[in-house]
Structure 1
């Protein structure tokens, strides 16, 4: 679930950058490495009757390439390490890492690879890509909003929703929602 979100965020970041109205595409064009120090990948799953589960991934890596001549050819690649999931509750974290959810021992990576980027607003884009988690791959979409560009650093706010059942992570439904909400901040450094 979280991997999906992370993957979408990366793609969304790529799309949003070229769309920023105050920044020329030529200024934003280039290759960026996602910096975990300035980034976060957060997720939440609702629960019937209120409450739910919220957490984040502490370990991930990725790259963003913004194409100066054709935004649609821009690329986002993100890898999330599900072993790094954290909710602030040790027992819940261990359960999420187990074969009931992420199966981190046998599936140490969740990957997102963009397949298209499309502007949907002055500073926003829709990033579509292939999310792979637990050996299953599906097309997912994320919305990326350009949050800033300064001194070789770009920042995006990325959101999206992923159905966890598609990836064999539907334990606890219908008490816990099948929908995972992702809220990510992705900071890339040129280079």
Structure 2
């Protein structure tokens, strides 16, 4: 009788565990190289009255290091090559690469270097760091959610908002929004 009650209690306890359990830092700890083939960096800029445009960067590189002893010492480094911007519209792509926006001829890289990682939930974190574009550096924050961790591969869904005026890219405002919405999938391979 007692064995049967204990068995039912064990089943009930298993059913009560959330579908996404906390990820042990020891399982995720390590250094990862971001794989551009399995990742994407997308953005959206709205337009007054509706519309706007979406784009993506085809070239980028980076690394993720998760510290087992102290998650706040974890690091994210990302370099984006703005000449690889693509919206599906050649005229807009050329304008974005020009000195009016990215100035990719004189500023060939956009860099993000994390300064702090704060775990906000079982699978989420707030990543704070310094974003540098067109020679200007400002603090920015992104939300990262762990999508998967298996066989030496880690995947995060990352979102955030950046004010483009801070970086001297405010051409077209207020018709086009000053806010750039980022939506990224970053997949890293341990190594």
* TM-score under structure 2 length normalisation: 0.89
The aligned runs of 1:1-191 (5 Å cut-off) are 21-191=21-191
Question: What is aligned with 1:11?
Answer: none
Deviation at 1:53, TM superposition (A): 1.2
Q: Distance in 2 between matches of 1:21 and 1:152?
A: 19
Q: Distance in 1 between matches of 2:180 and 2:35?
A: 24
Q: Distance in 2 between matches of 1:31 and 1:106?
A: 31
Question: What is aligned with 1:10?
Answer: none
Cα deviations by residue, 1:4-55 (Å, 9 ceiling, x for unpaired) = xxxxxxxxxxxxxxxx744321111000000001100000000000000110
Deviation at 1:122, TM superposition (A): 1.6
For the aligned residue pairs, the C-alpha RMSD in angstroms reads 0.8
Tell me the secondary structure at the aligned position of residue 64 of structure 2: strand
Q: Distance in 1 between matches of 2:27 and 2:36?
A: 23
- Larger relative contact order, structure 1 or 2 (CA cutoff 8 Å, min sep 6): 1
* TM-score under structure 1 length normalisation: 0.89
Task: State how many pairs are aligned.
Answer: 172
Structure showing greater radius of gyration is 2
Q: Distance in 2 between matches of 1:111 and 1:53?
A: 23
Q: Which runs of 5+ in 1 are unaligned?
A: 1-19
Tell me the secondary structure at the aligned position of residue 69 of structure 1: coil
Tell me the secondary structure at the aligned position of residue 31 of structure 1: strand
Give structure 1 regions of 4+ aligned residues with deviation exceeding 6 angstroms: none
